[in-house]
Structure 1
Amino acid sequence: MASSHSLTHLLLVLCFLCFLCVHPSAAAGNDTAPAECEAASQGKCHDKAASLRLKLIAIATILAASFLGVCLPLFSRSVPALRPDRDFFLVVKAFASGVILATGYMHVLPDSFENLTSPCLPEDPWAKFPFTAFIAMLSAVFTLMVDSLMLSFYRRNKKAAGGAVADHESPDHGVAPASLGNCGHVHGGMPQLDAESKAGKEATLLRNRIIAQVLEMGIIVHSVVIGLSMGASNNVCTIRPLVAALCFHQFFEGMGLGGCILQAEYGAKMKSILAFFFATTTPFGIALGIGLSNVYRDNSPTALIVVGVLNASSAGLLNYMALVDLLAADFMGPKLQSSVRLQLWAFLAVLLGAGGMSLMAKWA
């Protein structure tokens, strides 16, 4: 699994470098916006000193909520009800998946529509084509492609490795091809069954690891964007309700991600890395926004386009992950399919999670 670890590290580093390079350039003052766009950024809620205090409070509270949410499932061994094999874990995961689904549909996607249809952008081409929906669609297809190719690549490598072992062992030990891949332990007809069982477990584990990595990438993109926007804003009326909404959002989204990380069965080091990046991205975005607040203009054409495209990409990824890799995988799985009662509880949890997160759209 070393390649999976390296890929995760590379994607995370590239994501942060992308933001560090793109946003400062997007913040530069060489963009021209209509006069009404400049006037709209000022008003009675504009208070730089008060907004800075709120943003510093937001960094601490969001960081705490994020760490608590993502770490809670990881310490499930001390809380028996939260173990992956328990019914309650599936219900909690369904609730968190509903939060992630609503994040994509009710928060990220509308933000992208607002950015890419802003009157501060030229009418041609931005008002003449639904770029947000188009980019979100491409993002979902791209996520499917990455999901599929990573799984295929791993399986081909495993087959190649199994073939190499067979070529090496057959001449020397006279082992039949059907009995290979079991570390040389032969007990009648059991080796092939053991191998198939082991291969199935490895495929499931790989699938869970891919889900955890791809989901984390989508969350990171959205978290840095919303943190940057909040950090660069001096609108107290916007920031105050946003702090509470983001704490709720980060806690339950963290629980969903933490459940995926737990099922991926990573070691302590990898779990810590994934939890750290999730918990710190929104506070990092806020801090970056505070640092760029003197030069960053969220209504400049370049900033609107960059943030809008990233939000649309994140929305497509989150919606795909929530529906396909989280909800569909669990609801079509053997545990929920074997119990209608458990399915109904899980459906209720999804609706509560999605409903609660949708309600947050009123303030955030």
Structure 2
Amino acid sequence: MNKVVAFKLLFLFLLPILVSSECTCDEDANDRNKTEALKYKVVAVASILLAGGIGVSIPILGKIIPAFHPENNVFFLIKAFAAGVILATGFVHILPDAFDSLSSPCLPEKPWGDFPFAGLMAMISAIGTMMVDLLATSFYRKAHLTTKQKPINSDEEKGGHGHGHGHVDVHTHSTHGHAHGSVLLSSEGSETLDLSRRRVISQVLELGILVHSVIIGVSLGASESPKTIKPLVAALTFHQLFEGMGLGGCISEARFKVKKTAIMAIFFSLTTPIGIAIGFGISTVYSETSPTALIVEGIFNSTAAGILIYMALVDLLAADFMSSRMQDSPKLLIGANIFLLLGAGCMSLLAKWA
């Protein structure tokens, strides 16, 4: 967990350095008003911070509010809505931005105009996310089985040496006991493995959201056009609210301790406001149309898109929609599909402004 936090902090400080460069492609100097733009930026920081905090807290409050408990059907509907939001974020918001950045006329025709690098990076990041998911799951499984195997063997040895006579009866009883123990191990191991995997999912999902949130924040903070910032304030507020709900659901299911849960929730809430502050600080040297900024933003956006698309389809939607609980309840299945489409539709509509 500490390594993940350290990487996030490193990313926050590294990105502004990468995108700070001189502009080599002409920019539109119209509609600039630093004073009015600053007012909207202050409003954006406050509203986005509040929305992100509320969004990520709603599912986490399941421990206090029964309706939001992970075992409740309402929680499944919220997760379906949030998964639709995250899926639309990857497909409709981030990936098109990545294609626009890496195919910009401000970049050299070769190699950026000759190959769809945004799609390539999204594919690589999706495959990379799958590998991390697979390796982490395999590691936790092996670690758990190694820990649980020794007590069972020692019990068998006790059973074998505890009776000197009646070898056939003892063997039969021992075999039965071993089979029963295996069932218990399988049940406990499955539950522990599922919990460990959900913890990996929540951390990787937050990383993908963090990448996109910082880039959005930096772009908004560096802008000096009120006409550009004004529609972004409302759009990004809802954006953070919905994304927070998706991340909060994953954090809630991961059952972290209170301290880790609070750290992840606070980190998500602060990411975009911090990005806005960074963008404001580097506004004199930052240019959205500079080759360096376009390449960095395009690569990071396409990487984030691949992560979010994989997480939404595989770890959120497939895991819940293919579960026996969902399949055995037609009402829950229909409701989840409606909420999924509603979440994807609402987030897709926001792409008109952000």
- Summarize the alignment of residues 236-315 of structure 1 with structure 2, pairs less than 5 Å apart: 236-315=226-305
Alignment partner, residue 39 of structure 1: 27
| Match for residue 11 of structure 2 among 18, 25, 34 | 18
* 1:213-224 superposed matches below 5 A: 213-224=203-214
Amino acid at match of 1:138: I
2:57 aligned partner: 71
Measure how far apart 1:172 and its partner are: 7.0
Aligned to 1:18, what secondary structure does the other structure show?
Answer: helix
Deviation at 1:345, TM superposition (A): 1.0
The change in CA–CA distance for 1:252 and 1:139 in structure 2 (over 3 A counts) is: same
CA displacement at 1:191 relative to structure 2: 3.4
Q: Aligned pairs, how many?
A: 341
In the alignment, is the contact (CA less than 8 A) between 2:148 and 2:185 conserved in 1?
A: no
Tell me which of 314, 320, 328 is aligned to 1:324.
Answer: 314
The 2-side partners of 1:28 and 1:175 are apart by 76
Question: Contact 1:23/1:303 (CA < 8 Å) preserved in 2?
Answer: no
Alpha-carbon distance, 1:49 to partner: 1.2
Deviation of the 1:339 alpha carbon: 1.4
Equivalent position of 1:339 in the other structure: 329
2:35 matches 1:49: yes
Map of 2:166 onto structure 1:
none
Q: Deviations over 1:110-160 (max 9, x none)?
A: 111111011110111111100001100111000000000011111122233
Secondary structure of the structure 1 residue equivalent to 2:71: coil
Match among 89, 94, 112 for residue 108 of structure 1: 94
Distance in 2, matches of 1:189 and 1:239, equals: 65
CA distance in 1, matches of 2:8, 2:260: 18
CA contact (8 A) 1:84 1:90 kept: yes
1:155 pairs with 2:141: yes
Contact 1:12 1:217 in 2 (8 A): no
- 1:163–1:80: structure 2 CA closer, same or farther, 3 Å change rule? closer
Per-residue CA distance 1:28-51 (angstroms, 9 max, x = gap): 33xx52xxx3233x11x2111111
Letter in 2 for 1:133: G
Equivalent position of 2:21 in the other structure: 28
Question: CA 1:17 to 1:175, structure 2 compared with 1: closer, same or farther past 3 Å?
Answer: farther
Are positions 1:362 and 2:348 aligned together? no
Identify unmatched segments of 5+ residues in structure 2: 163-175
Give the Cα separation in 2 of the matches to 1:134 and 1:22.
21
SS of residue in 2 equivalent to 1:64: helix
- Which position in structure 1 is the counterpart of 2:80? 94
**1:147 is matched by which residue type in structure 2?**
D
Q: Distance in 1 between matches of 2:42 and 2:323?
A: 43
Task: Assess if the C-alpha contact under 8 Å between 1:96 and 1:256 holds in 2.
Answer: yes
Match of 2:69 among 83, 86, 94: 83
TM-score for both structures, normalised by structure 1: 0.89
Deviation at 1:20, TM superposition (A): 1.4
C-alpha distance in 1 between matches for 2:155 and 2:325: 39
Paired residues for 1:196-207 under 5 Å: 196-207=186-197
How many angstroms apart in 2 are the aligned matches of 1:291 and 1:188?
A: 65
Residues 247-295 of structure 1: CA deviation (Å, up to 9, x unaligned): 1111111111111111111110110011011111011100110111111
Shift of 1:174: 5.5
Counterpart AA for 2:59 = P
Alpha carbons 2:218, 2:277 under 8 Å: kept: yes
Aligned counterparts of 1:22 and 1:258: Cα–Cα separation in 2: 25
Distance in structure 1 (CA, Å) of the matches to 2:189 and 2:145: 10
Aligned residues: percent identity? 47
Q: 1:270 is paired with a residue of what secondary structure?
A: helix
Mapped to 2, the partners of 1:229 and 1:238 lie a distance apart of: 10
Cα displacement (A) at 1:21: 2.5
Q: Deviations over 1:67-99 (max 9, x none)?
A: 111011111233222111111111111011101
Find the structure with the greater CA-based Rg.
Answer: 2
TM-score, with structure 2 as normaliser: 0.91
Distance 2:7 2:27 in 1: 36
SS at match of 2:27: helix
Query: Post-superposition shift, 1:342?
Result: 1.4
